[in-house]
Amino acid sequence: MATPLTAAKLLEVLRDEGLKVVEHRSWRTHNRNHKGPWGPLHGVMIHHTVTSGTESSVELCYNGHSALPGPLCHGVIAKDGSVHLVGNGRANHAGLGDDEVLRAVIAESALPADNEANTDGNQHFYGFEAVNLGDGEDPWPAAQLEAIEKAAAAICRAHGWSHRSVIGHKEWQPGKVDPRGFTMESMRERVKDRLAAVPTTPSRPPAQKPPKPKPPAAHEPFPGAAFFAAGRRSAIITAMGRRLVAEGCGRYEVGPGPAWSDADRASYAAWQRKLGYTGSAADGTPGRTSWDKLKVPNV
């Protein structure tokens, strides 16, 4: 779960991933927020446009049509790999989908088959439309596939999500076939590999004399008590949970995960009691002293 990126931040993370980004008209304030909430965000959804031509496809996704007002996505990915931003906020791209699929995306687990349309996806997903006729014959140039990979990875990297937070429209809403022409499993593998690599930052010129890097800390430094709030997702929380289990303080039913939960709080409270804390000092909210003693490994 995450708060939506601002328009400036979305532009920044896409460019930092090495994408050529085109800002289309008033995309920064173009949205459907008056029709419903925008967020919390859980993932990135990929579509194909069923159109040809960059200019006409971008205009269609910006304006929409009589039956479905625009924006119809947040970005249009052209054949040449350029990303044209057309909206920031709620967009008419996902429609109603399967609540079990949404829960799997949140848990970053394998997706079940989509067989229901009972949950608003426009609230919870970023959407990218890739220019393609969707007939199974229109080609997917390497530059376009790479841009889909980069755009999805950029947003996942910004929110601390894994590749499991990237899905296709056909995996969300029964009856949909997009994107057609490549598999989402293959695209998720590409995103996974990219997330494991260090991103390029072409929009920021390198410093003339970069500072000498500090040696890594022996363990994960205390991120502050405010870090451990409802909705927080981080690999640090997973690493903390594993250490709590190793110390015999785990109170998990299915094991630690990246989302801060009641099970994490109960497990940390058990750790605090093990250290001798009582009462409000053992409320399950990490403090610097108890955190340093837990020795959470770097992530």
Q: Do both 125 and 178 map to the same domain?
A: yes
Q: Do both 231 and 157 map to the same domain?
A: no
pLDDT of 290 over the 70 cut: yes
Evaluate whether 42 touches 125 at the Cβ level (below 8 Å): yes
Query: Could you tell me which residue, 217 or 230, shows the higher pLDDT?
Result: 230
Q: Do both 260 and 171 map to the same domain?
A: no
Q: Give percent of the chain with pLDDT exceeding 70.
A: 93
What pLDDT is attached to residue 199? 62
What pLDDT is attached to residue 201? 52
pLDDT bucket at 218, cuts 50 / 70 / 90: confident
Q: How far is CA 159 from CA 9, 95, 227, in A?
A: 11, 23, 14
The closest of 58, 38, 17, 244 to 147, measured between CA atoms, is 17
pLDDT of 191 over the 80 cut: yes
Query: Quick check: is 178 in a domain?
Result: yes
What pLDDT is attached to residue 169? 98
What pLDDT is attached to residue 205? 46
Mean pLDDT of 69-82: 98
pLDDT of 286 over the 80 cut: yes
pLDDT digits (tens, 9 = 90+) for 197-214: 866 555 454 445 566 665
pTM here is 0.68
Residue with tokens 């596939």: 145
Last residue of a domain, one of 195, 213, 239: 195
Residue with tokens 């080609």: 139
Last residue of a domain, one of 173, 195, 217: 195
What pLDDT is attached to residue 113? 95
Residue 109 sits in a domain of what CATH number?
Answer: 3.40.80.10
Q: Do both 166 and 255 map to the same domain?
A: no
Query: Quick check: is 217 in a domain?
Result: no
Query: Quick check: is 98 in a domain?
Result: yes
pLDDT of 217 over the 70 cut: no
- Structural domain span for residue 12: 7-195
Query: Quick check: is 284 in a domain?
Result: yes
Q: Do both 69 and 162 map to the same domain?
A: yes
Mean pLDDT of 250-260: 91
What pLDDT is attached to residue 208? 53
Beta-carbon contacts of residue 127 (< 8 Å; ≥ 6 apart)? 44, 45, 47, 72, 73, 74, 75, 91, 93, 94
Q: Do both 191 and 274 map to the same domain?
A: no
Q: For the chain, what is the domain count?
A: 2
What pLDDT is attached to residue 255? 87
- The two tokens of residue 183 are 């598999």
Query: Quick check: is 218 in a domain?
Result: no
What pLDDT is attached to residue 206? 47
pLDDT digits (tens, 9 = 90+) for 143-171: 999 999 999 999 999 999 999 999 999 99
pLDDT digits (tens, 9 = 90+) for 13-72: 999 999 999 999 999 999 999 999 999 999 999 999 999 999 999 999 999 999 999 999
Q: Do both 142 and 257 map to the same domain?
A: no
Q: Do both 154 and 242 map to the same domain?
A: no
Query: Quick check: is 214 in a domain?
Result: no
Q: Do both 45 and 151 map to the same domain?
A: yes
Q: Do both 133 and 29 map to the same domain?
A: yes
Last residue of a domain, one of 178, 195, 212: 195
3-state DSSP of the chain: CECCCCHHHHHHHHHHCCCCEEECCCHHHCCCHHHCCCCCECEEEEEECCCCCHHHHHHHHHHEECCEECCCCCEEECCCCCEEECCCCCCCCCCEECHHHHHHHHHCCCCCCCCCCCEECCCCEEEEEECCCCCCCCCCCHHHHHHHHHHHHHHHHHHCCCHHHEEEHHHCCCCCCCCCCCCHHHHHHHHHHHHCCCCCCCCCCCCCCCCCCCCCCCCCCCCCHHHCCCCCECHHHHHHHHHHHHCCCCCCCCCCCCECCHHHHHHHHHHHHHCCCCHHHHCCCCCHHHHHHHCCCCC
Q: Do both 166 and 233 map to the same domain?
A: no
What pLDDT is attached to residue 299? 78
What pLDDT is attached to residue 61? 97
Query: Quick check: is 143 in a domain?
Result: yes
pLDDT bucket at 291, cuts 50 / 70 / 90: very high
The closest of 230, 234, 223 to 292, measured between CA atoms, is 223
Residue with tokens 């328009």: 7
Q: Do both 177 and 245 map to the same domain?
A: no
pLDDT bucket at 96, cuts 50 / 70 / 90: very high
Query: Quick check: is 202 in a domain?
Result: no
Mean pLDDT, the chain, rounded, equals: 93
